Structure 1
Amino acid sequence: MEAPNDRIEMKVAERHSLTPEIMEFTLEPATGSALPAFTPGAHITVETPDGAMRRYSLLNDGTAPSAYVIAVKRERNSRGGSASMHEQAQEGTALLIEAPENDFELVDSAKYILIAGGIGVTPILSMARHLSREGKPFTIVYCTRTAADTAYLDEISAFKGATVHHDEGDIDQAYDFWDLLEKPGTEHVYCCGPFGLMEEIKALTGHWPDGRVHFEEFSPVSVVRDDDVAFNVTLKSKGQTIEVPADRSILEALRDAGVQTVSSCESGTCGTCKCALIEGEADHRDLVLMDEEKADHIMICVSRAKTGDLTIDL
């Protein structure tokens, strides 16, 4: 595998199951070269075996890493990325990654509140490990459905001041954060987890000072919705028309058809996959395009046709 200039060639050195749905991977550089350092809360973008680009938080110490450690949950409605990691990324498998980035950086504070839900524990655990090494005080709350679903249960439980809560899938048993967040203190709050958890924390911290509550969101847009329908996209430069099924993005349909194109976040936030829109009306779902660009551009990782078909400059 030859890595493009902006990507690093890695191999799966180890993999082991944390829960029935979560697999931990240790990735080492294929050439033995030094890896870029990173800070707690950082992530890498991995080109998964099926070609999808997915972001995964880094778990290990990033001071002088010889490997990158990530944990991947197999999503129930996976469109390829997580399923291909579980099924095809075996020990020895080559993978391309992008260098670490951090949009969830720990700021200097006297103390911290760390809140995790499900697989959102990965950046939170990285932070907890770092703060523990530094001897800085923190409170951590980790919410999951059951003990069997809980990755890193023993390690999280061992932190001083840690709370692990299982709701058994019953909304009436959900953890009550009000006592923890009712009165703003000097802490900085870091939260990563499912949409419902993060919306709850946003609501409960609306009275906190600006800049004191931080969230990590890898999937801020709905790539596929229940009312989506199939449509055709024509690639002007190739003279090729490809059907985009109701449950696939344009980018995924192109990839399924063997058409190579560039992408990175695949969540409508980075702008890498921007294409010129030649014909048709787009249903824009990205967070990148300026209003004046929307008439003649489209982000093919998340956006679709509003009605009819599309022609793009690809």
Structure 2
Amino acid sequence: MELIRMRVAARRALTPHIVEFTLVPLHEGALPAFTPGAHVTVEAPSGAMRRYSLVNDGTAPSKYVIAVKRESAGRGGSASMHDEAVEGHELNVKAPENDFPMADAPRYLLIAGGIGVTPIYAMASHLEREGKDFNIIYLSRSAGEAAYLEDLTTAFGDRVLAHHDEGDFDRIYDFWDHFAEPQKLSVYCCGPKPLMDEIRAISGHWPEGRVNFEDFKPVEVVRADDEPFEVELRKSGATLTVPANRSILEAMRDAGLNTVSSCESGTCGTCKTRLLEGEADHRDMVLMDEEKANNLMICVSRACPGGRLVLDL
């Protein structure tokens, strides 16, 4: 995959916890184009690889625009972007990929929850340029936490329905009227897991392929009940304790040990590693069942409770 060296040309605070980054290439030459719904994988200053949706038009881009929410319960990637990726800072960025592509439809309903607004904004801008019929439902806790809300309402007017529940369960938006009867439109939804679970549940009677989702957290890298465990790296001779809130890959990085990685979400297979001893708690979406006894993905997998792993690293 192509690696592009880019510079932070501008930062814009969208909310107290979300910052927009404009990235431009260090060297001359056209940037790879992309379609609405695409994302880039960015190597944060901490070394963590994180995926961010692209907000700008990808037809002939001279820049990549992303928005990053500081995740207080995260593993340091977003905090590193907020604290260290200042204007002028250089970053490694992988060429755009699109796991959330749009298909042609007579009408569109775009549903965004929180930071999930980023691909939805790009899709709406594209549909506007194409003269297509669409509406947006944008959910957030409050107007002050809704990134791009002013931009969206300025651009698309009353086609944007913004709903803020203020953290009150009784004020959660009711989607049933939108999904009670299947309609001749395509739905694109991006947001937190509870939102997408709700949309999946109430759209089960719709034709297959009509309701589409984007989720940047396909696996739980760290779970609340995880425990520390020991991993021996046979080739390097190192033995590490992997904390409950870190992955093997992150523990290696923290110890100054370099290894290859890409998605860091258990979906690409780049960090596939030979398992020499121990029983792994597999959390990836790549390995075949017959591979799991002797391999694991160090970006997401752990030792089973009380266990210890020996890896061919």
- Is 1:44 the counterpart of 2:40? The answer is yes
Pick from 87, 98, 122: which aligns with 1:126? 122
- State the 4+ residue runs in structure 1 displaced beyond 4 angstroms: none
Partner of 1:29: 25
User: 5+ residue gaps in structure 2?
Assistant: none
SS of corresponding position for 1:100 = coil
- Alignment match, 1:16: 12
* Aligned pairs for 1:174-253 within 5 A: 174-253=172-251
Residue 156 of structure 1 deviates from its aligned partner by 2.0
Corresponding residue for 1:110?
106
Q: Is residue 2:237 matched to residue 1:266?
A: no
What displacement does 1:203 show?
Answer: 0.4
Alpha-carbon distance, 1:89 to partner? 0.1
> Which one of the candidate residues 146, 152, 156 is aligned to 2:148?
152
C-alpha distance in structure 1 between counterparts of 2:270 and 2:213, whole Å: 23
Q: CA deviation at 1:143?
A: 0.0
Q: Which residue of 1 aligns with 2:137?
A: 141
Partner of 1:69: 65
Alignment map for 1:282-301 (pairs within 5 Å): 282-301=280-299
Higher mean C-alpha deviation, range 42-51 or range 303-312? 303-312
User: Structure 1 residue 101 and structure 2 residue 97: aligned?
Assistant: yes
What do residues 187-218 of structure 1 show as CA deviations (whole Å, max 9, x unaligned)? 01000000000000000110000011110011
**Residue type of the alignment partner of 2:148:** Y
SS in 1 for 2:5: strand
Q: Distance in 1 between matches of 2:87 and 2:159?
A: 36
**CA drift at 1:264:** 1.0
Q: Quote the sequence identity (%).
A: 65
Give CA deviations for 1:166-203 in whole Å, capped at 9, x if unaligned: 00001110111111111111101000000000000000
Query: Which digits, 9 at most, give the CA deviation of each residue in 1:259-294, with x for residues without a partner?
Result: 111111111111111100000000011111110011
CA deviation after TM superposition for structure 1 residue 90, in Å: 0.4
Separation (CA, whole Å) in 1 of partners of 2:81 and 2:294: 35
Amino acid at match of 2:255: A
* Matching residue within 168, 181, 185 for 1:170: 168
Q: Distance in 2 between the 1:298 and 1:246 partners?
A: 18
Q: Corresponding residue for 1:309?
A: 308
Structure 1 range deviating more: 174-183 or 38-47: 174-183
Alpha-carbon distance in 2 for matches of 1:305, 1:88: 32
Q: CA deviation at 1:249?
A: 0.5
Give the partner amino acid of 1:179.
Answer: D
Point out the more displaced range, 179-188 or 141-150. 179-188
Distance 1:192 1:310 in 2: 36
Partner amino acid, structure 2, of 1:270? C
- Counterparts of 1:33 and 1:311 in 2: how far apart (Å)? 45
Question: d(CA) in 2 for partners of 1:155 and 1:133?
Answer: 15
Q: Secondary structure at the match of 1:101?
A: coil
What per-residue deviation string (whole Å, max 9, x for no partner) do you get for residues 29-69 of structure 1? 01132100000000000000000000000000000000000
How many Å apart are 1:299 and its aligned residue? 0.5
Q: CA deviation at 1:227?
A: 1.3
SS of the residue 2:15 aligns to? coil
Q: How many residues are paired up?
A: 310
Aligned mates of 1:21, 1:27 — CA distance in 2: 19
C-alpha distance in structure 1 between counterparts of 2:264 and 2:190, whole Å: 19
Q: CA RMSD in A?
A: 0.9
